[in-house]
């Protein structure tokens, strides 16, 4: 058997857009940007971070774009090596208050579009997906309709990364026991029942792309069905421009839609930040482990 042919960014652009790229140039992180031969469209070819990564991201972009609540780059197509999507020119200045409020309202609407279940991948999306450079397991068809948020969050968003961190020697057995306690008490720590929200899934500030058109665009998703407080907690994790306006507009839109955020959601930020903090722990090490442990202990104290 021969080796698989090397597929270049140029090959991928032609395959998925039907147009020949011109002015192809590096963008960073192995990606390339090019204008198409119509000279009016600019696209990005992103290399795969791992198996299923392009399918997970491409399907996620299409799912988030489905209803037009928040701008999302068009995903032209993907293969094992590349994802081809529209390039969005970045803004030159800071986002305006109006843009932030529009983003908050749109995000509230997007979340309320829902998902088939907690942990459900987007249509066409794989169960074995990615968040950044880390593997992320979604639920397959058989698990979509019988999984509570607490069971899903423990099994798929906390426990796998704690186990990996223990294996890496970044978290010891005593610290792991704190996360075990959080998992056991999740139904109490997140009271009330909400339907699955349609999540971006990796909504830190770097994935809110402020475009030259004045809008916030969603990029690089790890989309799945989850709890809407998780996306909101990620926005807080590393700071986001105009965060207060985003969250204020979100809350107003949720109220108007008849689905207000549950009382005490601000006390649960650390609980929902456990997922990204543990992902960062397995990717980048001890400093994030300490942050994750602090968040876990704060979540337990908040419910005492």
Place of tokens 């075990």: 180
| CATH entry, 89-302, from 3.30.2000.20, 3.90.1200.10, 3.40.50.720, 3.40.190.10 | 3.90.1200.10
Residues 281-298 have a mean pLDDT of 94
- Residue 7, pLDDT > 90, answer no
Annotation says 37 is catalytic: no
Mean pLDDT across 25-51: 92
Q: Over 90: is that where the pLDDT of 122 sits?
A: yes
What percent of the chain is modeled with pLDDT above 90? Answer: 87
Average pLDDT rounded to a whole number, residues 102-130: 96
The DSSP annotation for the chain comes to: -PPPPPPPHHHHHHHHHSS-EEEEEEEETTEEEEEETTSS-EEEEEE-SSTTHHHHHHHHHHHHHTT-SS----EEEE-SSEEEEE--PBPSSPPPHHHHHHHHHHHHHHHHT--SSTTPPPTT--SEEEETTEEEE---GGGSSS--HHHHIIIIIIHHHHHHHHHHTSS-HHHHHHHHHHHHTHHHHS-S--PPEEE-S--SGGGEEEBTTS-EEE-S---EEE-HHHHHHHHHHS--TTHHHHHHHHHHHHHHTT-PPPTTGGGGHHHHHHHHHHHHHHHH-HHHHHHHHHHHHHHHHHT-
CA dist 202 and 237 (Å) reads 11
Across all residues in the chain, what is the average pLDDT? 93
Transcribe 153-165 into DSSP letters.
Answer: IIIIIIHHHHHHH
pTM of the prediction?
0.94
**Which 3-state string (H, E, C) describes 69-95?**
CCCCCCEEEECCCEEEEECCCECCCCC
Domain 1-87 falls in which CATH fold?
Phosphorylase Kinase; domain 1 (3.30.200)
Overall average pLDDT of the 239-263 stretch: 97
Q: From 40, 60, 48, 45, select the one nearest 11 (Cα to Cα).
A: 45
CA distances from 28 to 17, 44, 154, 281 (A): 21, 11, 35, 24
The pairing of strands 42-47 and 31-36 is antiparallel
Decide if pLDDT at 2 tops 80: no
CB 38 within 8 A of CB 23: no
> Is residue 172's pLDDT more than 80?
yes
> Looking at residue 6, what is its pLDDT?
66
Q: What pLDDT was estimated at residue 4?
A: 58
Please give the average per-residue pLDDT across 59-69, as a whole number. 97
* Choice among 202, 213, 244, 267 that is catalytic: 202
- Domain limits of the chain? 1-87, 89-302
* pLDDT of 5 higher than 70: no
Contact 225/199 with Cβ under 8 angstroms? yes
């Amino acid at each position: 058997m021969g080796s698989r042919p090397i597929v270049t960014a140029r090959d991928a652009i032609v395959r998925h857009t039907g147009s020949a790229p011109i002015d192809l140039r590096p963008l960073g992180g192995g990606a390339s940007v090019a204008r198409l031969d119509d000279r009016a469209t600019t696209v990005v070819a992103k290399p795969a971070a791992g198996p299923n990564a392009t399918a997970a991201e491409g399907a996620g972009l299409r799912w988030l774009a489905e209803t037009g609540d928040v701008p999302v780059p068009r995903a032209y197509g993907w293969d094992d090596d590349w994802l081809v999507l529209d390039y969005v020119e970045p803004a030159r200045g800071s986002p305006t208050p109006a843009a932030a409020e529009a983003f908050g309202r749109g995000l509230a609407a997007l979340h309320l579009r829902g998902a088939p279940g907690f942990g459900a991948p987007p249509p066409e999306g794989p169960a074995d997906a990615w968040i950044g450079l880390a593997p992320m397991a979604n639920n397959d068809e058989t698990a979509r309709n019988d999984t509570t948020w607490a069971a899903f969050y423990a099994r798929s968003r906390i426990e796998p990364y704690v186990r990996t961190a223990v294996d890496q020697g970044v978290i010891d057995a005593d610290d792991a026991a704190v996360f075990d306690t959080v998992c056991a008490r999740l139904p109490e720590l997140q009271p009330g029942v909400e339907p699955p929200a349609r999540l971006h899934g990796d909504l830190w500030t770097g994935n809110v792309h402020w475009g030259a058109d004045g809008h916030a665009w969603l990029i690089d998703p790890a989309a799945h069905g989850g709890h809407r407080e998780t996306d909101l907690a990620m926005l807080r994790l590393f700071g986001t421009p105009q965060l207060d306006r985003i969250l204020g507009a979100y809350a107003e839109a949720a109220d108007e839609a008849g689905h207000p955020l549950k009382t005490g959601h601000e006390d649960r930020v650390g609980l929902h930040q456990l997922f990204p903090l543990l992902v960062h722990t397995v990717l980048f090490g001890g400093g994030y482990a300490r942050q994750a442990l602090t968040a876990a202990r704060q979540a337990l104290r908040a419910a005492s």
